[in-house]
A = this chain, B = another copy of it.
Amino acid sequence: MAKIKENSTNSLNRKFLTDCNLTYAVQLMGGRWKLLILMQLNAGTMRYGELKKKIVNITERMLTLQLRELEADGLIARQVYAEVPPRVEYTLTDIGRQLVPICDALHGWGTLHRSHVSGEASTLFH
């Protein structure tokens, strides 16, 4: 993560939004790749390298960053095995798993929205 200026308006606004449990929740899941990671882990525990393969376009840096944040926020757990070459496994925590049904609902809403949009577009043709 890049450094953050503690007293910028930007940063203060972020803190202000943390007070609301809704925007707080969005802050926790809002990173670009976080939900994809969560959905992968919902299918089962995975190693770093497996995640990298599954999430096609993510870079190692981004994967690491998002994993670190998810871990810091308690949505996933990180298990390191003292082996060489290293083996690190990531698993959803309870609270992380509780986000999954909401993701499903969001997925459904996204699907609906998309059909809505393309549906509106198709009305142009008759």
Query: Which residues from chain A sit less than 8 Å from chain B, CB to CB?
Result: 12-14, 16-17, 20-26, 28-30, 32, 35-36, 39, 56-57, 73-74, 95, 98-99, 101-103, 105-114, 116-117, 120
| Copies of this protein, total | 2
Partner of A25 from the list B14, B39, B98, B110 (CB cut-off 8 Å) is B110
Given contact pairs A13-B32, A98-B109, A105-B105, A117 touches B24 in the complex (Cβ within 8 A): no
Distance from A83 Cβ to chain B, minimum over Cβ atoms (Å): 29
Chain B residues whose C-beta falls within 8 Å of the C-beta of A101 in the assembled complex: 105
Chain B residues whose C-beta falls within 8 Å of the C-beta of A30 in the assembled complex: 26, 30
A21 touches B99 (CB 8 A): no
